Structure 1
Amino acid sequence: MARGESPLDPEGGPLFEFAARLRKLREQAGRPTYRDLARNAHYGIATLSSAAAGRQLPSLAVTLAYVRACGGDEREWKVIWQRTADACTGTDTSTETGAENRQGNSAKPPYVGLFAFGEADAGFFFGREKLTGALVEHLKEKRLLVLFGASGSGKSSVLRAGVLPAFPGVSPLVFTPGPHPLEECAVRLATRIGTDSGAVHASLAAEPHTFHRMVRQILAGQQETGSAADELLVVVDQFEEVFTVCRDAREREQFVAALLHAALAPDSRTRVAIAVRSDFYTHCTRLPGLVDALSHAHHPVGPMTAEELRAAIVQPAARSRLTVESALLTTLTADAHGRPGALPLLSHALLETWKRRRGNALTLAGYRAAGGFEDALSQTAEEFHQALSKSRQEAARQLFLRLVALGEGTEDTKRRVPRRELDGGPDTGFVLEQATKARLLTADGDHVEIAHEALIRCWPRLGGWLEKDRGQVRLHRALTEATTLWESLDHDPDTLYRGVRLAAAKALPPQELTARERAFLDAGESAVQRARQRDRRHLRRLAGTLAVLLACAATAAGFAVRAQNTRDEAVALRAADEAVRLSSDDPSLAVQIALAAYRQTPQKRTGDALVSALSVASVGRTPTGPEVIGRVPAGHTPAVPADGRTLAMADGSELVLWDMRNPRRPRRLGTTAGVGLGPIQFTRDGSTLLGVDSAGTLWLWDVTDPRNPRVLSKRSTEHTGDVFSVDVRHDGLVAATGSYDDTIRLWDIADPARPRLLDTLTGHTRNVKPVVFSPDGKTLASGSDDHDVRIWDVTDPRHAAPVAVLKGHRNFVDALAYSPDGRTLLSGSDDHTAKLWDISDLPRYRELGDLARHGDVVTSVAFASDGRTAATVGVDSAVNLWDVTDRARPSALAHLTNPRGTVKQVRYLKADGTFLTVTAYHSVQTWYTDLDRALTDACDHVHSTISRAQWARHFPHLDYAPPCPRRT
């Protein structure tokens, strides 16, 4: 999904102007996602997004690819790029003659710090010319290269900034394996040819030769579009990840087999370069196929010579018209010489020295002020840590520990983590942003990782965390992986922890677990409790069996009773399920079957079936069908005022008002014809009703007399997309509309005859769906297809401002509801879950418990007036009720089923728990959550007593006992 880009630094000079123009070009092209641009430009998403980030000047090739994908003028942009390059390298810093110059001004740093050199940095990459030449010759001759070197020896830089530019006629494909290397490979290949990555992944898993065939397909497609590339150069960086974070040995072998075949096939058009840490050499020799190729493919990377170090220090500075003080050059060369893992430390120290340069000179004094060789890195990390508040320091500890893979006979390595593994709270988000600015971490759209493993070795605080919590980190890492597996297998109970593993994991500090991990452990605990209950039942049965052996006569009788009870229980459960299915066609019969089933076997499942069967006392049903659903994307939503006495129902052709004072016997009131409404909403006092039709027109009615609704006004919302939702602030003076044009509009409805536009809120990057005001009216929450929930300060609706962005859902956000006290927000999503959020201390927020019992999209959510109960409904026909008294650990109260299929909306009517739902086909059901009341009222819904034949069909072997005998 598209993500908002980070703001540009207005002090960035030429780079700011260049990036701003690139962003404007993308806007003019219709704001395509970077994934779409990557497909057209044949460069990675991160490369293209970095081009418009304003941090460094992209290469001319990347720039022109970006421009070409956006439909810009390449000739014009060649001129723009050259002017920007001249401005960046020609910045005069000689006027700085006083105190140390620590600002970043507009000049591009000649050193990359902890980051690896990339293609765009090739002009500043010096000192590895000899090694680069040897590697290029090797690849030209043998097509497969396995580059071994210590962490920090410069493997990534020499491949990216040295080898890749030496193959100008070859299309590059650069990636790291991650926990699922075959899947990562499939995504990269699928992006190149614009196809579904799932199909590619399946093909790769079934047949490694697929990689070779797809390369040929990619190259053939590029030649048809005029590209000169006739080969593909695959660079697999940080290959050790196939051992440190990939746990599937079969996938590891399939990935290696695919790479080897692509490189070694007789008609190969692929060259493969692999970079791997030298301490993983033994691991590589255990991979079939690779061990045979190593004797001809491997190449070591050693430490740089003194001459190479001098070139790496002096030449980048000279390129930027800077000088390196001779004392500094001598000190740096001495500090780095003979140390194979010293290059990231050297580069970082030079970067920090550059920030402290005097005029155009890099000085020994600046180097020492930065902390020297190794201390420069730890000083940067400590400055970052000390600037954080106490709570954010704790968030930093948890974040950095997650980003380290503990070594098994090897040194600890960095671990690339998907963003979804991190809790999306404001502390984590702030720490991530600041650590990235400090160049300690790198973050792209989907993943986060430590900038370089040198940080693990050189930051004492991180080393202390790892040493102190090593056992706990290992346990936590296993929990994270188990949670991911559980989710990927659709919550398969066989993957849950039990026994010692569950007990050990539950001993982890709760505040360090994400909501996903807590849900996994809670599911395991529930499974254990169910197993214990089964064991107790089994023991009871065993005890009974033993007793039978001791007393034959009593045993025979007891066995018969138990067998009959078991049989009768099974019959009752089957009958309860059948009652729910029958309730839409024959509600009278369904209620009797459900009631009899409950009396036979009084348990939760039969009780839920009874409540479900009773729900089909429809308020009204219209025969509009799917055609209307297609026209109004919000579906047909109900509206209920605060007193719950009236229901408004828009069905696409008319607006109908119902008297709901007795929900069992709703009474039709007034009607307005000819208005194809979608979303509607009452003011709190119920005197005014708002709605938006399929043409985007905002209507307001006076419904003081609900038998005779009167139009007050209508006007265009000015939205350019369909309007999904509308809500009204508690004081009845302000309304909000959410639209598929990605915006929210706020309206002044103090004079309902003349609604006025107050403000347009932007920030979501895709369709805005639900919008809802808080009970006090100070904030507005909005959900979107961009997976985010945004909260806005609307105290002054003419100048609304963003307060927080709640991240945690993995798919579209379709539903929102505030708790009555306004301290909790409930959200429902296409990811099959509803989430509770603590928003009592905005802008800080906290993800609480998940309500994850749905099998499909959660379409609507609601809080009861007491705030202790919530309802969620969905496409799976489920109507779930939850006890949310403990927001962190919500528990299921009832799992009801709407027999009419997909449930689109849920609204509470009364304080006694009565609520209504609306299906996709616009039938409305009322529900009672009080089982005692349902038992009392059930027979009121019966029109004719169940016959003996019907009874025998649903309750075989049970004596005829109609639960609602014929009344005289």
Structure 2
Amino acid sequence: MPRRERPLDAGESELLQFAADLRRLRELAGSPTYRELSRRAHYSAAALSEAAGGRKLPSLAVTLAYVQACEGDSAEWEARWRNALQHDMGLDGQSPYVGLKPFQAADAHRFFGRDRLTSELLDLVTERRFIGVFGASGVGKSSVLRAGLIARTDLPVMLFTPGADPLDEVAMQLATVRDESVKALRAELEDDPANLKRLADGLLVVVDQFEELFTLCRDNRQREWLITALTSGPHVVIGVRADFYGHCARYPRLVDALRGGQVMVGAMSADELRQAVTEPAHHAGAKVEAALLARLMSDAVGQASVLPLLSHALAETWVRRDGMTLTLAGYEQAGGLEHAVTQTAHDVYTSLGTAQRKEAREILLRLIAVGDGTDDTKRKVRLGEVSASEVLDKLVAARLLTLDGDGVELAHEALIRSWPLLREWIGQDRDGLRVHRRLTDAADAWESLGRDPGALYRGVRLEVALEWRAHSHTALNERERAFLAASEAAEEEVRTAVRKRTRRGRYLIAVLVVLLAVALTSTVVALNAQRSANEERNNALALKAVGEAAALRTTNPALAIQLSLAAYQLAGVPDALRGLRYDAFTGQQLRQSGSEVTAMVLTPVQQLLSGHRDGTVLFTDLRDQPGPREPVRMTKHEGAVVAMAISADGRTVVTAGEDGYVHIIDVSLGRPSEIGTFQAHAGPVTAMAFRRDTLVTAGQDSLVKMWDGVRNASQKLVRTHADVLPKLRHVAFSDDGNRMVAVTVGGDAIVLDVGGGGELYPRATLPQAATTASFNQHGDIVTAGGQVATVWDQTRLGQRKNGDIPGEGGQITAAIYSHDGKTVATANEDGTTRLWSLPASGAPIETVRLSGHAGAVTTVALMPDSDTVVTGGADGTLRLWEIGGRDRYDRACERAVPRMTEEDWNRYFPGVEFKPPCPSQ
């Protein structure tokens, strides 16, 4: 017969209750013998019997084996065991590690690893009156200031963070130290910031999280006030996040005060980190397993911002320790260094119901100041902004948030960096969070001013806030709702008053309109008749003057120019521009590369990329004119650059060469940079163009290929055409990407329809030999080949729309449309570039002729306004031509000497008021 268990000692301790409950669990399992339990649990009968003996707490492993052998709930008993462990140790949950929270002065007994830095600060305090402590978020600045400097200094200390109202924060802290009225101290400080020197005499003023002056304080006057007050004489130490160093540099007083008094907090050394891990446990009577220490050193040494994560991971490992030992298994169970915070936050969040999760999200987002060019930071708010609730209590209990007096904030900014879900929430509505922050600040200011109507939102600010509220799921607090309601009511009062004034004004206007209607009707009829007669007369005089100008061009060129200008000025007759086409435009030479320009691309922000016969691709910033910088070589092909193309969004340029490769250049950041290259064809590339986001290349191998993902250098071949077209020398796509014109090596210009998957369906071959072709925004096509360029009607393929553009005896090397499709530019073998106006009907009209290249013009590009032309030539030069607007008139007038007299004017424009086109000299 088995021996009966020894009765438990008398008492009601947690340990005795734990043992009694284990015995009760065994009874519920049918009172198996300890030998039977040993067989089930794979532990000795003595160990299991001792677990329920009530003399000492068994290990967690033995406890769980006992429970499983009795078919109990392991999770429930693990929680019971941890609770019993805390009572058994007399710690009642007090961890030697502070978790995400910074160390306070009261935590100095468990603050280790920063002795050298603390000593340096203490020495500096005796030597200087102003010290700046800088370091990355999470490096431990706050802990060094509080548990290091403040705990060890002999000086009385006034500690505060700037918050949204630095003046109020300083006054409240001084009132606590001096036992005086906050209101009186605030008035004295506001009157003169230098008074802080006298009021804080003998104190060490420590300003932690000084960056709040830039993230939370919206009042520039208060910023200036605090900086002036702190630099006026008291002993001051400020702790600043390193990424706000540049903000501090904007204030000369701060720069002068910090000169020679800056301390940079960096990562802990290996020895310092070992002390920070092992010493707190040692002082609590525990130890750190060697395997855990090695793992922690591997995970954390050399990382500056890892301390909050490390402290939190250790705090969670402490909860999961085995007896008095922090183990590697407990550390991994807690999630390790990278995931302990995430796991804690995730566990708390997932334990909430749907409504509570929404509340938790709103609470957490309220505690974040969204960065503007800097990292996001935590934001301390008063409990009036975040109402007390069960959710808030759970977040605080999990040490994700900290309560301090009447304020609440994130325990540490490491939570922002380490919890992906929180980062996702911020990223989903970053602009909306900024609107909400401004609304909260405005509501607080309105309340502090006694709900002064002058502090309400009006106009655009109100519209933005209402638009955000209409589309946001964020719940407003009572103060914010009252502020917006008052703002809407005030705006509606203004609108009502305006409507009343407008209604009265309309009545008066209606009466006046009735009285004037009769008189105006007859006047309008007369004026319209007179205007029509004048227009007909002006058109007739202008057309006649154009003819007279053509006759005078050789005998009296000055008068011919002025007649042309006057005719265009009088009636806008396009033919009048013919008289100006030989204006002497002098192009500015941009570059002399020494190698023929073979291709060119002009970006929407006036960046020019040119390809050359020797394979180089050069970058020129046209915004630098006059006096551009030297060209920057972007890339180099093995062989000539054959083609260049720019994506529809203007952010990516691609170049193709005889070497068969395509180079990808990102031009979105102001300074182009090559981001990738790939081989498109086994032999030379012969043509290339973008179709929407798809790059199309043609090669000497007679293949046409379509590539996706080129814009981010993750190109993927999605389609190859092998038999649809002959070998190509040029391709272009319509704006909608539904049509393609391909020019073959044999000179045929073939128009094709493009299917949604990139299929090609030939439609027609244009009846004119070509070397290049392009579309305008309406879908019309211009081709160039031989001694003629032709404009083709997109609705009737094969039908000329405006007639041929002549090369006047020379070869036309290229023809392109302007952005609006009203102008065609032709590049010519004789070294000229010509601009042709396209009337609604009739032959194209030559308006400008540009001369300056020593050889053939090989490529031409137009700015969107068509007033600036860039040309490249066989002579290796790039030229910039300004031909637009008033400048063109001025150039013509420079040559129109002598000026037209009033007598001349009356001879050609009788009955028209004398308005000479060129000013008198």
TM-score by length of 1: 0.44
- RCO (CA 8 Å, sep 6+): is it higher in 1 or 2? 1
TM (norm. structure 2) is 0.46
Give 1 or 2 for the bigger CA radius of gyration: 2
